[in-house]
Amino acid sequence: MSLTLVPTPLGNLRDITLRALDVLRDCDVLVAEDTRVARRLLGALGLPSKPIWSYREQNAATVTAGIVERARLARVALVTDAGTPAISDPGRDLVRAARAAGVPVEVLPGPSAFVCAAVLSGFDLASFSFDGFVPRATAERERRLRAALERGTTSVWYEAPSRISATLHALERIAPDAHVFVARELTKLHEQHALGSPADVLAALPDPVRGEIVLVLAGSAPRAPATPDDGDVEREIERALASGSSVADVARELARRGLGSRAELYRRASALRSSRER
């Protein structure tokens, strides 16, 4: 008969829509990312229990055909753990399969974490992208973040609480002046908004970070670092040596500030120290 995608609250149950309540009440089968979460949701909303089928990334390939076949004959509703199904989960494949089989598909409007965070950021949304989850691997993470900044438009990402610190550190290396917004635990008791540079946002987050995270980046190409003036570099080296810093510490600190390569700064600091000692 039909497949209906039903957005569910991000956290606050009062965000459920009247149409969503109707579909969840009247459907014959509920398909859920996590059957335990779906069962708790029905109970919290005072809705009758019903058959709940599991549909998640790990089993999508084996259960999709059965769900589509059931939707030919019955009213099937699809929910994710929170927000709108088919965003960063396998619901997209189910929609495609249902359409290919001639099953009517409907999507109800409702909560979506990345849209809420994008609006909350205050960044330009005339053109923006949702880029899914930030890559786990360090090199790929930095490549994708750099590419997003260079596009010049706002980008929105999901990130795990255990990895958001590494992502903000990566942004600090790539573009320390980037405009960043992080929304944590949207619509929940401990909702937090953090706005500023990567370092500002990192400092504002609790340690350890917990909860659902949405990251929003204002588009701006990272500026090429200005070539440091030799005289300025030499004065910085002399100042650091005079303060008692070792040659290795001078090279490490000035390289971190973008005043040259660590090897070259070490060479220059060693030469200056030797000349002072003569």
103 and 119 together in one domain: no
In a domain, 222, yes or no: no
The predicted pLDDT at position 226 comes to: 54
- pLDDT digit string (tens) for 72-94? 999 999 999 999 999 977 789 99
Burial code of 23-40, b = ≥16 C-beta within 10 A, e = fewer? bbeebebbbbbbbeebee
158 and 253 together in one domain: no
126 and 174 together in one domain: yes
List the chain residues with pLDDT less than 70.
Answer: 220-228, 278
pTM of the shown model: 0.74
In a domain, 224, yes or no: no
φ/ψ bin of 95: left (φ > 0), alpha (ψ from -120 to 50), beta (otherwise): alpha
In a domain, 186, yes or no: yes
86 and 137 together in one domain: no
CA-only gyration radius of the chain, Å = 26
The predicted pLDDT at position 227 comes to: 62
Q: Which residue, 217, 239, 263, sits at the end of a domain? A: 217
How many domains does one find in the chain? 3
CA–CA dist 229, 135 (Å, integer): 37
Residue 63's contacts (CB-CB under 8 Å, 6 or more residues apart) are 53, 54, 55
Q: Which residue, 48, 77, 107, sits at the end of a domain? A: 107
30 and 60 together in one domain: yes
The predicted pLDDT at position 88 comes to: 79
In a domain, 27, yes or no: yes
In a domain, 266, yes or no: yes
In a domain, 225, yes or no: no
CA–CA dist 185, 79 (Å, integer): 19
Instruction: Name the residue range of residue 248's domain.
Output: 230-277
The terminus-to-terminus CA distance of the chain in angstroms comes to: 91
* Nearest by Cα to 252 from 242, 234, 240, 238: 240
